[in-house]
Amino acid sequence: MKNQEKLFIGISDCGKKFPNYENWVRIHGGEVDVIKLGYRNNNLDDAARCDAFILSGGHDVHPRFYGKPEYFDLLDPTDIDERRDEFEMKIIEAAEKNTKPVLGICRGLQITNVYFGGTLVPDIFSHLNVEGHNQDEDSDDSLHHIHVEHNSRLFHIVHEKSGEVNSAHHQAADKIGEGLRANAFSKEGIVEGLELVTEEDEAGVLLVQWHPERMRNQQSRFAANIREWLINEAWKWK
């Protein structure tokens, strides 16, 4: 632990799967503490205490936030939470204002892309005619390979040109938000990762469409290295 200091990682509330993210971060032990951020707790002010953020998975983003209200009829209205959308965009705004690092996971990628002016594919299976990936026998996730762009921040984190990741999403980034760039793709061309283009010494925004916090192989560079990146970025910011 550095000078007995402690990092505070803010994680957006995603309901019953929140412990997956919390436990994944707490692997680092006593040097890291977690703050659950959510509109139900009405605790946006706690974002000021956080050294970095994880935007977790879960609900579909309401399409009105990316200028496609006609997509609403294509979605399950019980899987949309506008108050969560609004709250998490305020987290992103606070992070951007204070140049704090952000890791967006699955929905976290999508809401961040929307925040920066991007749009989403409402359903990749119907809109892009994409078939399901191979099922992970030990979870509800699917497994598939991704290609990592060589000149990306992600490549410098995982040091891999390709790899197998888990998948549990039916939406994806369509138009890429301003200041973001794609850093990984599936074989079908679906965006599997985004990152904010910044100077090398600035805090990073890394967005992945898979779930590193629950990958069966936690030694995979697509899980372990991403967690290490977030912790290191948080220490740099602190």
Q: What pLDDT does residue 61 have? A: 97
Using alpha carbons only, give the angle 237, 58, 115 rounded to the nearest 5 degrees: 55
What pLDDT was estimated at residue 194? Answer: 98
Residue 211 phi/psi, 5-degree rounding, is: -120, 85
Residue recorded with tokens 């139900």: 40
Q: Greater confidence, 168 or 109?
A: 109
**Weakest-pLDDT range from 154-168, 189-203, 220-234:** 189-203
Quick: pLDDT tens for 65-78: 999 999 999 899 99
Biggest distance spanned by C-alpha atoms of the chain: 53
Token pair 């192989």 in the structure block, residue = 217
Angle, alpha carbons 222-59-46 (nearest 5°): 80
150 catalytically annotated: no
Catalytic residue selected from 22, 169, 211, 233: 211
The answer to whether the CB of 174 falls within 8 A of the CB of 120 is yes
Catalytic annotation on 106? yes
Residues 80-124: pLDDT tens digits? 999 999 999 999 999 999 999 999 999 999 999 999 999 999 988
Is residue 139 pLDDT above 70, yes or no? Answer: no
How is residue 179 written in tokens? 């200041």
Percentage of the chain with pLDDT > 70? 91
Q: How far, in Å, CA of 53 to CA of 63, rounded?
A: 24
| Mean pLDDT to the nearest integer, 133-153 | 75
Instruction: Kindly list the distances between the CA atom of residue 133 and the CA atoms of 115, 123, 175, in Å, as whole numbers in the listed order.
Output: 28, 15, 23
Identify the residue with better confidence: 27 or 113.
113
At residue 237, the pLDDT reads 93
Average pLDDT over the chain, rounded to whole? 91
Residue 124 pLDDT: 85
- In whole angstroms, give the CA distance from residue 119 to residue 170: 14
Domains of the chain, first to last: 7-237 (3.40.50.880)
How confident is the model over 192-212, as pLDDT tens digits? 999 999 876 677 999 999 999
Supply the pLDDT for residue 137: 45
Per-residue pLDDT band for 133 (boundaries 50, 70, 90) equals very low
pLDDT band at 1 (very low <50, low <70, confident <90, very high): very low
Is the pLDDT at 31 greater than 60, yes or no? yes
Model pTM greater than 0.85? yes
pLDDT tier at 5, thresholds 50, 70, 90 = confident
DSSP one-letter code for 166: E
Of the residues 22, 106, 144, 233, only one is catalytic, namely 106
